[in-house]
Amino acid sequence: MTYLTTVLQAFFTDYVHAQRNLSANTVASYRDAWRLLIKHICATTATPADHIRLEDIDRSVVTGFLEHLATERENSAATRNGRLTAICAVFTHALPDHPEHAESLRQILAIPPAKTSKPQIGYLNEAESAALLAAPNLGSWVGRRDQAMLALVIHTGLRVSELITLTIPSIHVGTSPHVECEGKGRKHRAIPISTPLAEQMHRYLTERANRTGEALFPGPHGRALSRDAIERRLAIHLGTASTSCPSLRGKHITMHSLRHTTAMNLLHAGVDVSLIALWLGHEQTSTTDMYLQADMETKKNILDKTRHPEIEAGTYTPSPDVLTWLENL
């Protein structure tokens, strides 16, 4: 008899840290999935959490939990798939040590993910980026801090989690200016920054030296801004920027959209996808392929290269005279 507690402790205390070195966000996601599953089992079987055995969890239990997520909790297919990934990660780790439950575990691991629709990637074009960077009030410290923060993210493509962990020594504005960060999976990387941005960061760091704390972008008490606080600052500046750039009004923009903006800017500049993946800290280039699919500008350029020499370049527009157009078909 194998208690689930033993399996979870082996996974969360040794495997995720010592062997996989997973990020804190990934560990928290796995933890939350298992908390929900255990509570669901307790509620449906009246079994105390500490008495749940590995053999008590079979394919029907897991599929029932996934159905509970979809119907009662109204989770999206993506969230449901994330919970399934967390469940399968633990069982994949447990499988070699518990051959007596191999068949039951394999049936769980064979549960297919739900189909999801891929949302269109949200990013800012050049005019929208300029409007956003012009939105903060540079007459105040908070405005100058926010502009430096947004400019850094748009240029480097930092994740919010990476942005929060930046400290003053993370920025190097001397020879070969760059920013150092710790990404997903605690992977360290350095990202170069342009000369104009380095000059802006130098001015910002000079002013930042008069304030407490080590966080690069601090709040009122010197501690790093939280994820929610950063998103709120972005929303405020988007509201201001939308007055001069109306196209922003119909867009759902988050801090992660600014990361997408970096990728699209690099793609439009002709940078190879493998280098963009390295820049963004993607483990596999397949993750970066989504930018190719979303990049209509590149697709238009490819189409233009295949046109007949006698055909004028540009987007086709039909004749305003419908009768003339029909006659010429």
Helices (H), the chain: 4-10, 24-45, 59-71, 77-94, 102-109, 126-134, 141-156, 160-165, 195-208, 227-244, 255-268, 273-280, 285-294, 296-305, 322-327
pLDDT confidence bin for 25, thresholds 50/70/90: confident
Taking residues 39-47, what's their average pLDDT? 93
Residue 180: beta bridge partners?
190
Backbone angles phi, psi at 183, to 5 degrees: -90, -160
CA distances for 231 relative to 53, 167, 242, 247, angstroms: 42, 19, 16, 20
pLDDT confidence bin for 180, thresholds 50/70/90: very high
Residue 302 has pLDDT above 60, yes or no: no
Q: Domain segments of the chain: what residues?
A: 4-109, 126-301
Residue 214 has pLDDT above 70, yes or no: yes
Q: Please tell me the predicted confidence (pLDDT) of residue 81.
A: 94
Residue 195 has pLDDT above 60, yes or no: yes
Q: Coil, strand or helix: which one is 218?
A: strand
Helices (H), 157-272: 160-165, 195-208, 227-244, 255-268
The pLDDT tens digits of the residues spanning 147-158 come to 999 999 999 999
**Mean pLDDT lowest for which of 207-211, 212-216, 294-298?**
294-298
CATH of 126-301, picked from 3.30.1490.190, 1.10.40.30, 1.10.443.10, 1.20.1050.10, is 1.10.443.10
Q: What is the mean pLDDT of the chain?
A: 87
Q: Please tell me the predicted confidence (pLDDT) of residue 298.
A: 60
Q: Which residues contact 296 (CB under 8 A, 6 or more apart)?
A: none
Q: Please tell me the predicted confidence (pLDDT) of residue 319.
A: 60
pLDDT confidence bin for 233, thresholds 50/70/90: very high
Q: Please tell me the predicted confidence (pLDDT) of residue 112.
A: 94
Taking residues 69-82, what's their average pLDDT? 92
Q: Which residues have a catalytic role annotated?
A: 159, 184, 256, 259, 282, 291
Fold of 4-109: DNA polymerase; domain 1 (1.10.150)
